[in-house]
Structure 1
Amino acid sequence: MSLCNLTPNTHQKFLFVGNRLKVLQAMLQTCHNLTICMQSQTYAARTLQTSLSPKHKKHCYEFSSKKELLALVQSLEFDVLVSNGCPYILPISQIQKPHQIFINCHPSLLPNLKGNHPINGAILFHQPSGATCHIMTNEIDSGAIISQVPVYNDDNISLPLLYQMCFLAEKEAFLLAMQRDFKPDENFLSHSTPPIPYYTRANSHLELDFHTQSTQHIIDTIKAFAMQTQGAYLKCNSSVRFIDAKLISNPFLERTFEQSRLNDILLSFDNHILCKREEGFLQLTLANKSKIPQSLTKNACDIKSQTCITDSHTYNISHHCNTPQTTIKANMESSHAQTSIFSQDSYAKALLEPLLYNQKQIFHFSYTQGSDFFSNTAIIEPIPNTPYFDMSSPYGYGGYFSNSSDINFLRNALEAQAQEARKRNIIAEFIRFHPHFSSTPHFAHLLDFFDNTREIIATTTDTQARWQSYSSRLRGKLRKSLQALQVSQSYDTELFHTLYTQTMQRNNADKFYFFDIAYFKTLLQMPQCVMLQATFEGKIAAMGIFLFDSLCGYYHLGANADISLDKNLNAMGALFEHFFEIAKDKGISQCILGGGRGNDKQDSLFVFKKQFSTHILPFTIGGKIYDKQIYQTLKANTESTIFLAYRISQDSHKVADKEIARGGGQYGFIYRFGFGFFCGFNFGFNHNPRFSFCFNGFNATPELRFKAVAKAKALPYLRTAYTPLSIPTIDSKPKPLRKAYA
């Protein structure tokens, strides 16, 4: 928009607040009553000192803190405040007077890319860019949109050029907004979730790891921070920074360096180096004063920060407070002996099966002070369309473990863990506690979320005591099923895969919800798992997978065939009885069957399992927020109030909140995104006739249940050696779904 076509504003008093010049230059020409509040010690402030006319210098102020800025804003008279590059979030509702308008010029196409560094984010995530003028609110870069100007950036536009284009677009967006008398444009109303809601640069975003990161990720990162004042850098050597990257495919180079290894530095010339990648050759341009590195893939071990990267998927973090090493070792060994299978390294690593979980990592943390010990194992997972992460306890019963009830020690341990989490851009954590860990209640007042209102079913492995606790009706059903069925161990993952796939096909599930056979094969390679099958007249009636550790046995996953439902065989009950006896032979005194789908004690799944119960145990979950600002910003995109609500899609959370309001909300939603307490899927035990499967989880909508299973692709299952049986054919004839409890 040309300034020549705009009538100067003479009737309103304007106040400019910020540190950028393009919008201010337009205001100097169009706003007769203008006061300036410029951030001190900035390029813009230094420029104004030499270029501003005497008339405007009389009305120009500088601020160096939020307190100074608020004092200026509250003391000056104005009708319209224009923020452009203001480094502080203003409490609009507290300082705005009835006649005043507060607007902001932001270098992105809101609501996409809110935050401090949207231009970096636009390149990093390949997002369209531009500028927006909007009404300010107490929230970051929120409020009704008045005008927008796109700049049509593409991969050929460099970061410095995109900065200039966006600043020019801010100027144009302001002029358009002034032409509209700063009234919001309803054409910009949108209820859809933006691709990248928020982006603020963090040091870890600039790190380059040639060993683990893809070539495209490396190129995107370098281009996103391609300025001398920024510059992506080697994770193993932060003094080596790059400002440009280009992938080259050339037959001569391929022939010349055919024997070279990946990531070798092949050539160095001027301020460039050439390295070999799988896709071709990567030409990298070094920033000023950066020395040519000897290697791009040096392993890093930062002893000072106590963070050791042992492989591409694992962070091992230990904090020891002036404790002799022998004491530390003894404490760790005794403590780990008590932890569940869900907290052990072998189990957590199974969740990182390359084909399914290549973006996830393991977070190990321990903290020792004297004889007090704290440990935690969690799975780090990227938050889609953001540079941030959250983490959760590995599926099942794991969570925090400590041998101490000292609140001060536990508080110190959690604070040390929080520091490590923030270094990794981890903004929140979801915790599942083992019902047998005595330290669990001591975390109640140290977490942002703590709930122990759910109940789970546990059963003794003492055969006589268990059968005495059974009702006469259940004893009769079990005798009948044990007599009619043959139960044995199975290693046939193809059979289980077929049974599961048929369940999905019967329910017309999307392809997204089907598992590859490799998934099940990976599960049964674990050393502490038994998969059992029940057959009737040579046909499979049901299959189940069960886990064991020194604490308990765990029912983990099961599937019923049509024949079990048709003939009311109670095949899963027969599998349970064999499971209990196997656990007894292993010296285990108790088995956990899990709970129902919600807090409703009349839930059919809970009622079914309760038939076998000799103990009712509390199941506790918790949550810890490590970056409240980012967490609240992401959470603002959903109406839900549950923990980690930002992982709920706009389309599903309203239904989920309604369906799981009875107490399952904290659980059902987490299933949707693979954070679920997967300790007993029961394919065939669902009371809802629309579906022939359910899980030992929480009251969730059918959509959430399907998606939960889909995201559970890398659940590890553990195996012990038993004599396999030749596998009969499966009864796969499609039949109407029906109630499985009888």
Structure 2
Amino acid sequence: MKWQIFTAQETEEWYKVLERFHSIDIYFLPEYHRAYELNGDGIAYAFVAQDEGNTWFYPFFVRSIQQVGSEVLDEPWYDIETVYGYSGPLSTTTDPAFLTKVQAVFSQWCQDNRIIAEFIRFNPLLQNHQYVDQSCRLIPNRETVVVSLKGSEQDLWANYPSVQRNMVNKAIKNGLVCAESSTPENLEAFRQMYEQTMNLLGAIPYYYFCESYFKYLWNNLTQAVKLFTVRYEEHIVTAGLFLQHGDFLHYHLAGSDVNYRSFAPNNLLLHTVAQWGQKNGFHWLHLGGGRTADPKDDLFRFKASLSRLYLPFYIGGRVHNAAVYEKLCVNWMRQQQFIQRPNYFLLYRLT
């Protein structure tokens, strides 16, 4: 078996490998990973393995483990996490023998590079959790909502649950107007609105993406990033950043003025994007899931009011150095004075 490692800066080599796969998503592109490097998520790599005409491709971030809790480590260790969103591995085959061989080679590479564990977010649209072997602990995390764009505009409207049709009509009667607004000026307005929304939600620091993150996405994935705004008398009341690639549209980030929530701006936003997606040949609008895995989660219930189509989102974990992994987790528990171990992978990273 032959294998290679690429960085996100080696875009030509990265894309040559992606050409071997029938269907990919934006979350597998080097530019998307580079944006998160700038956000401080780690160093992006793609591991490529080939054997007897089959190819396995896996993009991820390597992150250093410098301390656990308040204790600085005496020697460097690392772990792996996939990019924000939905990625994981791609493979030209689901043959168990091939996948087992790949995982053995990759695990050896991890051990050779002091990588103790990895955390994977899989892609619901590609269902690529089938491209790992039994050494990976697979967990169905939550349902995600998807809108089919394959039919006519009349089909789209007819397939909405009645509550969505009612809310779109309400938004229009309230005088709201939605349109694509992909300009640098509107991006900055969106960034500020998004930050205000995170403040209201009490979001953790990670979700406050840095300014260079937005600029890099905008300048380097120009055709893949679309901004839609909903306005009331020229005032932006809701805006959404959407990502596109291949057959897929993704609802990536959003911000709203809470003073206009009763006007149903988000319903109009997603209906307009779905119409735009149909006209531009996309097959699916992926809305994602809720903020939690709870089926009663408010965000999930809102998204589910737009479509009855759900796709499962899987996460996965694998330990490559059990002794060190366990040592770091026990260290964290001792510092936090935990007796019973929390059910959380990469436990030592909790703050």
TM over 0.5: yes
Shift of residue 562, structure 1, vs aligned partner: 3.0
- CA shift at 1:601, angstroms? 2.0
The one-letter amino acid of 2:81's match is S
Q: In the TM superposition, what is the alpha-carbon distance from 1:439 to its structure 2 partner?
A: 4.8
Conservation of the 8 A alpha-carbon contact between 1:361 and 1:380 = yes
Q: CA deviation at 1:338?
A: 1.6
Please name the residue that 1:333 is paired with. Answer: 19
Cα distance 1:422–1:595, how it changes in 2: closer, same or farther (>3 A)? same
3-state DSSP class of the match of 1:588? coil
Using the TM superposition, give the Cα deviation of residue 616 of structure 1 relative to its aligned residue in structure 2, in angstroms.
Answer: 1.0
1:556 to 233, 238, 252: 252
2:241 is matched with which residue? Answer: 545
Counterpart in 2 of 1:450? Answer: 138
Looking at structure 2, the residues matched to 416 and 371 of structure 1 have their Cα atoms a distance apart, in angstroms, of 17
Aligned length: 326
* 2:89 aligned residue: 400
Q: CA RMSD in A?
A: 2.9
Displacement of 1:415 after TM fit? 1.1
Q: Deviations over 1:584-632 (max 9, x none)?
A: 2231111111111333322221111111114111111111111111111
Measured against aligned partners, the alpha-carbon deviations of 1:61-87 in whole angstroms (never above 9, x if no partner) come to xxxxxxxxxxxxxxxxxxxxxxxxxxx
1:472 maps to: 162
Q: Relative to structure 1, is the Cα distance of residues 646 and 544 closer, same or farther in structure 2, using a 3 angstrom cutoff?
A: same
Q: Is the helix fraction higher in 1 or 2?
A: 2
**2:3–2:50: 8 Å Cα contact kept in structure 1?**
no
1:128-147 alignment runs, 5 A limit? none
SS in 2 for 1:635: helix
1:485 aligned partner: 176
| 1:503–1:615 distance in 2 versus 1, CA, 3 Å | closer
CA distance in 1, matches of 2:309, 2:316: 23
How far off its partner does 1:422 sit? 2.1
Is the CA contact (8 Å cut-off) linking 2:145 and 2:310 kept in structure 1?
Answer: yes
- Mapped contact 1:433–1:440 kept (Cα < 8 A): yes
Structure-2 change in CA distance of 1:553 and 1:646 (3 Å)? same
**Structure 1, gaps ≥5 residues long:** 1-304, 319-328, 650-742
Confirm or deny: 8 A CA contact 2:5 2:45 kept in the other structure.
no
CA deviations over 1:679-708 (Å, ceiling 9, x no partner): xxxxxxxxxxxxxxxxxxxxxxxxxxxxxx
Look up the equivalent residue of 1:451 and give its one-letter code: I
| 1:375 pairs with 2:66 | no
* TM-fit CA distance, 1:342: 0.4
- Pick the structure with greater CA Rg: 1
Contact 1:316 1:363 in 2 (8 A): no
State the Cα distance separating 1:464 from its structure 2 match: 2.2
Alignment counterpart, residue 591 of structure 1, candidates 264, 269, 285 = 285
Letter in 2 for 1:424: N
Note if contact 1:317-1:364 (Cα within 8 Å) is conserved in structure 2: no
Task: Tell me whether 1:361 sits opposite 2:49 in the alignment.
Answer: no
| Counterpart residue type for residue 427 of structure 1 | I
User: 1:198 — aligned with what?
Assistant: none
Stretches of structure 2 that go unaligned for 5 or more consecutive residues are 68-72, 334-340
* TM-score normalized by the length of structure 1: 0.41
Alignment of 1:618 with 2:312, yes or no, is yes
**Shift in CA distance, 496/641, structure 1 to aligned 2, threshold 3 Å:** same
Once residues 338 and 513 of structure 1 are traced to their aligned partners in structure 2, the CA distance between those partners, rounded to angstroms, is 29
CA contact (8 A) 1:457 1:616 kept: yes
Query: Given the superposition, is the C-alpha separation of residues 604 and 365 from structure 1 closer, same or farther in structure 2, using an over 3 Å criterion?
Result: same
**8 Å contact from structure 2 (residues 86, 123) kept in 1:** yes
Separation of aligned partners in 1, 2:99 and 2:206: 41
Q: Which residue of 1 aligns with 2:32?
A: 347
Residues 328-727 of structure 1 aligned to structure 2 (within 5 Å) = 333-335=19-21, 337-353=22-38, 356-357=39-40, 360-385=42-67, 386=73, 387-437=76-126, 439-441=128-130, 443=132, 445-447=134-136, 449-461=137-149, 462=151, 463-483=153-173, 484-488=175-179, 489-491=181-183, 492-503=186-197, 516-525=210-219, 526-527=221-222, 528-565=224-261, 568-636=262-330, 637-638=332-333, 639-649=341-351
The Cα of 1:314 is off from its aligned counterpart by 6.9
Give the 4+ runs in structure 1 shifted more than 3 A.
Answer: 305-311, 313-318, 500-519
Deviations 1:471-510 (A, max 9, x none): 3333122022135212121422321233234345667889
Which amino acid counterpart does residue 177 of structure 2 have in structure 1?
Q
Question: % of aligned pairs identical?
Answer: 26
| Cα pair 2:196 2:255 within 8 Å, conserved | no
Other-structure match for 1:4: none
The residue correspondences of 1:121-270 to structure 2 (distance < 5 A) are none
Q: Tell me: CA distance 1:603–1:309, structure 2 relative to 1, closer, same or farther (3 Å).
A: closer
CA distance in 2, matches of 1:618, 1:310: 30
CA distance in 2, matches of 1:417, 1:600: 34
**What SS does the corresponding residue of 2:263 show, helix, strand or coil?**
coil
Q: 1:579 to 1:517 in 2, by over 3 A?
A: same
How far has the Cα of 1:642 moved from its partner? 1.6
Contact 1:367 1:373 in 2 (8 A): yes
CA shift for structure 1 position 634: 0.9
Shift of the 570–404 alpha-carbon distance from structure 1 to 2, 3 Å rule, reads same
Cα separation, partners in 2 of 1:452 and 1:444, compared to 1, 3 Å: farther
Q: Deviations over 1:375-401 (max 9, x none)?
A: 100011112324111112211111011
Q: Which has the higher contact order (CA 8 A, sep 6+)?
A: 2
Kindly provide the CA deviation profile for residues 393-433 of structure 1, in whole angstroms up to 9, marking residues without a partner as x: 21111101112121111010111111222232211111111
Aligned to 2:70: none
Q: Say whether the 8 Å CA contact 1:428–1:624 is kept in structure 2.
A: yes
Amino acid at match of 2:253: L
Residue in 1 aligned with 2:336?
none
Aligned partner letter, 1:622:
G
TM-score, scaled to structure 2:
0.83
SS at match of 1:368: strand
Distance in 2 (CA, whole Å) between partners of 1:316 and 1:391 is 23
Whichever structure has more strand as a proportion of its residues is 2
Contact 1:481 1:571 in 2 (8 A): yes
Within 1, Cα distance between the matches of 2:122 and 2:113?
Answer: 23
Distance 1:469 1:349, change over 3 A: same
